[in-house]
Structure formats: structure tokens, C-alpha cells
Amino acid sequence: GETGGGKTTVCQLWAWLFAKDLTVVNCHQHTETSDFLGAYRPAPPQEREEGRLFTWANGPLIRCMEKGELFMLDEVSLAEDAVLERLNSVLEPGRTLTLPEKGGSDPVPMVAHEDFRVMATMNPAGDFGKKELSPALRNRMTEIHVTSLSKQTDLAIILGKRLQGAVHQLAPLLVQFLNWFQESQGRQISIRDVMAMCTFASRAAAADGPLPTPLTPGLAYAVSIDAILLAGIAIGTGMSESQAAKIREESYTFMAGQVEGLPPTLEAFLGLRFWDVCGREPPSVPAKSKASYSFNAPTTQHNLSSILRVLWTLDGRGVLLEGSPGVGKTTIV
């Protein structure tokens, strides 16, 4: 299914429901069979004293097979087919695996515990370098398409649960906006972004939140959508700046029709500096750098405001800056 659709979370819930430990291996183009089968490692000190320099260490797949636990390959389609083919015998009815890598003249096949299960997740083939799995692996697994949570009933339940405090009353409006956006722009919004919007709006408007002066519910609602969805609307899509600006204008017009008290135009909204509306001290250049840097330029202030509103409001969320070479991405950080 699409990214942010809840594939990994479903697997984690499955493990929790059956009270099983879940081991996750994140696949990538450099994944090797040793990453899940195991390999020879330097021996611990006590074994070195006995003259053994290296000892075999079971990988996560072998441990799960022995203990009857759940084993999950995340983003499985990123790994090379030659690596994944080693799983074929494990997925057969006999559920066996032979380890010639371990050495020995006559390796004995190991049989998986009856409770052992294999799960895997992947995004659609062709999505940012993703590829199809080999038929040999696919026909050994049951495939399930995980649909995006885009229905109005899904969103209403999630937003009603996640929007807290002063912005809880705005849950129906956010459902309305997300449905309008997906239908008018033909873009799916991941549940990961929806959850981030809820967290941002709830914390920004909370009296006991991270901001000295909480935002009004309407402003917190609009800023959360702009910060999480609209500010990076063109990243990774090949969209031109004019197209992104048009989407942002249409979205702001829609939001302004939903809630009262917003600035009259998008230009005025984007002109707000987050430190002015949340009661924080304006950022200043350290004294030793004043001769080299200035935060007074409007574009620099806008960029800095966009960064700080996320850092001040969302604990632990990363920030990705994308722009042409030489515009000052590294310098502003």
C-alpha cells in the first residue's frame, strides 16, 4: 500500500493481539542475507581464550524461527531478489532453512517453530525506485492491499480521537478540508501527515502546551495544515512554483471560509511570523556573526518562521529543507 497507510502499524497490532514478539528488519538496496540469517562475528573474550577467533551469531530470522516469533521485512521490495530468494524454503509448507554459510560438511536443515510467521510490507512498484517482487516470492505469500484511510468516516473517527482541547470542535472542519483537498487536487494524504496535523493543532492551541501564548483554535487549525501539508506541497512531485502557489491559494481560501479570524489574504497569512503570534522571543543573530548574517530579509524571516513553528510545536519531527543550490538552506540551519 501507499506510504503512511498504516502497514507497519497493522503488523505491530497483530503481534500485540497475539502476545508475540515482533522483529523488524528494514530492507534497503544494500541488504545482505547475513542481515537476517546471521554471520560469523569476532568471538567474545572468553571464547578467544579457548583459541576461537570467530563464532557464528544467528540473525533475526533464525532467532524468530527457533522461538516461534513474528518476523517482518519492512520495505521488502528495496532488497535485491538474490537476497530475498533465501526466504523461499522458509515460506514452503515444510518451513525449513539450511545454512551452508555456517559451515560444516553436512549442514542440517532447521525447521521453524509452529508459531513462526513471516510478514512483509512494501509500497507500490514504481514508487520512488521501488520494484516488483519476484514471482517465486510473491506466490509463496498471501498478498493484501492496504488501502489509504481517505474515507470520511475513517477520518472522522481518527480526528475525533486525536484533536484535543480547544481544537477538538474543529474535527468536522478538518475532515471537510481533507476530503475537499483530495478530491480537488487528486492527491492522497497519508495518515502520518493527518496525525501530525492533529498533534500540531492540539499543542499549538493548548494552554499548557509548548507555546508561551497559545494560538486561537482557528489559527492553530490553519497553521497546522500549512506547516504539515502545504509548505512542502511541491517536494518530490516535480510541481512548479506557480502550481504550488495556486494550490496554496485555493486551500487558504477554503480554510478562510471555514473558520473566522484568519488574516484576509494568503499573503497576509504568510507574512505572520510565528514568534510574534506565539509569544516567543524573535530569533537574533549571535553577536560574533552579525557582520556576516542578517535575519531582516522578509524571505529569510519567512523561511525561519516555517522551520521554528515545527521545531517549537512538534517534538521529534524532522524538518526537510528543499531548494535550489545557494539559497541558504544550510546557512539558516
Q: Which of left, alpha, beta for 301 (phi over 0: left; psi -120 to 50: alpha)? A: alpha
Give the pLDDT confidence score for residue 150 in this predicted structure: 65
- 30 CB burial (10 A radius; 0-12, 13-18, 19+): exposed
Q: Above 90 in pLDDT, residue 146?
A: no
Per residue in 254-263, pLDDT (tens digit) is: 999 999 889 9
Q: Each residue of 286-315: pLDDT tens digit?
A: 888 877 877 788 888 889 999 999 999 988
Rg (CA), the chain: 26
pLDDT tens digits along 159-175: 889 999 999 999 999 99
Q: Compute the average pLDDT of residues 121-136.
A: 78
| Whole-angstrom distance, CA of residue 297 vs CA of residue 12 | 47
pLDDT at position 127 over 70: no
Mean per-residue pLDDT over the chain, rounded: 88
The pLDDT value recorded for residue 128 is: 59
Q: Do residues 213 and 278 lie in contact, with contact meaning Cβ atoms separated by under 8 Å?
A: yes
| Distance (Å, whole) CA 149 – CA 147 | 6
**Pick from 277, 228, 222: which is nearest to 254 by CA?**
222
Task: Give pLDDT tens digits for 196-242.
Answer: 999 999 999 999 999 999 999 999 999 999 999 998 887 767 778 88
Contact 3, 190 (CB under 8 A): yes
pLDDT reported for residue 182: 87
Highest mean predicted confidence (pLDDT) among 29-33, 51-55, 147-151, 201-205? 201-205
- Rounded CA-CA distance 60/25 in Å is 8
**How confident is the model at residue 228, as a pLDDT?**
93
CB atoms under 10 Å from CB of 171, counted, come to: 21
C-alpha cell at 179: 476530503
DSSP H helical ranges for the chain? 7-17, 34-37, 45-48, 60-67, 81-84, 135-138, 152-162, 171-185, 191-204, 217-225, 241-258, 266-270, 274-278, 298-313, 329-332
pLDDT band at 1 (very low <50, low <70, confident <90, very high): confident
Lowest-confidence region among 9-23, 118-132, 139-153? 118-132
User: What pLDDT band is residue 130 in, cutting at 50, 70 and 90?
Assistant: low
Written in H, E and C, the secondary structure of 76-124 is HHHCCHHHHHHHCCCCCCCCEECCHHHCCCCCCCEECCCCCEEEECCCC
Predicted pLDDT at 102 = 82
Per-residue pLDDT of 79-100, as tens digits, reads: 998 899 989 999 999 999 988 8
- Asked if the model's pLDDT at residue 129 lies above 70, the reply is no
Q: What pLDDT was estimated at residue 191?
A: 84
Q: State residue 244's pLDDT score.
A: 87
- Stated pTM of the model: 0.77
Q: How far is CA 211 from CA 40, 205, 265, 290, in A?
A: 52, 8, 25, 27
